[in-house]
Structure formats: C-alpha cells, structure tokens
Chains A and B, each alone.
Chain A
C-alpha cells in the first residue's frame, strides 16, 4: 500500500518568514495530494490540493509543488502569521481512493 513520509515533525519560524513542509510517497499510482491544517482541538481542514497533471498550485500565501518523478511534494507558506500555527498533514491518494496521511508537522509561528 501507500506510504507517506512527512518532514519536519516540528517547524518553528518567526512571523514573516517562509515555511516549507516536505512529503514523499511510495505509490507511483497516486494522483491526488491534499494538504490539511488542524488547529488544536479542531477538525482537519483542506487548505490546498494538487493533482498529478500539474506541477505547482498557488493560493495567496500558500503554494504546493509536486515532483512526480521523485515522488515528493511540498507545502510552502510565505509571510507566515501567528494564525498559521497549527499541525499540517499531507496526504496521497491513488487507485484505492483512500487518502494516506503523513504523520503531521507542527508549525509554530512566533510573533
């Protein structure tokens, strides 16, 4: 089955800095890669996703890149703000239609 590795497990940045979270996946059939943000005690919420037919997608301060050949994808957050502090999960989904999640990255943005 699919295996998703996510790094780093914890990321601490100063407000205004950029943050990058990286994930790798094992199943070359995976074709959909969502990113979820989970604030403390709340449900995971989709913030951005990318499909395998594109290499990059942006939404304001958030961008995701995908390298199918290397089987890795990354989340980029620019101009970080304290409200970006949360746990971020990457996921990969392929032919089984079951999203497999990484272990999460705890992002801390210091004011």
Chain B
C-alpha cells in the first residue's frame, strides 16, 4: 500500500509569506508526527497527534507555527510570516498506534528567500 505522502516536495517562498505543508499518513495510522530537519542536523520534534486527543504542541518553535489534523487523516503544518531560519526539510511520520514503528514521508524541502 501507499506510504506516508507529503506535498509539495519542494517549496520556495519569499520571506514574510505564509506556507502550508501537507501530510497524508498511512491509512489507519492513528499517530502522526511532524519533525524539522535543518541541513546536516538531526530531527527536531514539532508536534504530535494521536487519534482525537489534544495534540502535543510542545515542540513548536514559535506561534508562527501551527498544525491541524482532522480525525485520523490528513495533517497540515502552517508557517506564518516565514523567516530564513525556517528553511529546512519538514518530515511527517505516522504509526499504527502510539507504541508502534513510525514511518516517514519523503519530506518537504522549504527554502525561504
């Protein structure tokens, strides 16, 4: 079956613009994670959704970042008033349950110019 799908693959935006990144998890997966990976760096946790529970937003770096997920389907990560330091690959992962293996999407490479 299809894996985790993210769109767009690449996004170039001007500083100050808003961007929206999309993640389609594997069907049936209840848990969904967003991570940020700066060039040559590790995976920085952003936000975690589990079923219909309130999301864990503890990793969001500022109030310019927000994310939504409707039920156990698509999630969108929104960055408002983008800054150059937001340039990174944004990775989404999903897992069947909160204690299962996490599968990653291919990421969205965001470049803020």
Interface residues in chain A, defined as those with a beta carbon under 8 Å from any beta carbon in chain B: 1, 6, 32, 34, 36, 42-46, 49, 89, 91, 93, 96-104
Contacts and interface: CB of A to CB of B under 8 A. Distances in A.
A43 B107 contact: yes
B31 A97 contact: yes
B33 A99 contact: yes
Contacts of A104: 41-42
Interface majority SS on B: helix, strand, loop or mixed? loop
A101 B42 contact: yes
In this complex, the interface size class of chain B, counting residues with CB under 8 Å from chain A, is 20 to 34
Nearest to A103: B42
Interface in B91-107: 91, 98-99, 101-107
Nearest to A36: B104
Contacts of B65: none
Interface in B37-67: 41-43, 45, 48, 50, 56, 58-59
Contact of B98 (A34, A42, A89, A97): A97
Interface string B20-45: 00000000000101010000011101
> Which of B42, B48, B58, B104 has the most C-beta atoms of chain A within 10 angstroms of its own C-beta?
B42
Nearest to B6: A43
Contacts of A101: 35, 42-43, 45
Contacts of B42: 6, 89, 101-104
Contact of A97 (B91, B99, B101, B105): B99
B56 A43 contact: no
Contacts of B43: 44, 89, 91, 101
A58 to B, nearest CB: 18
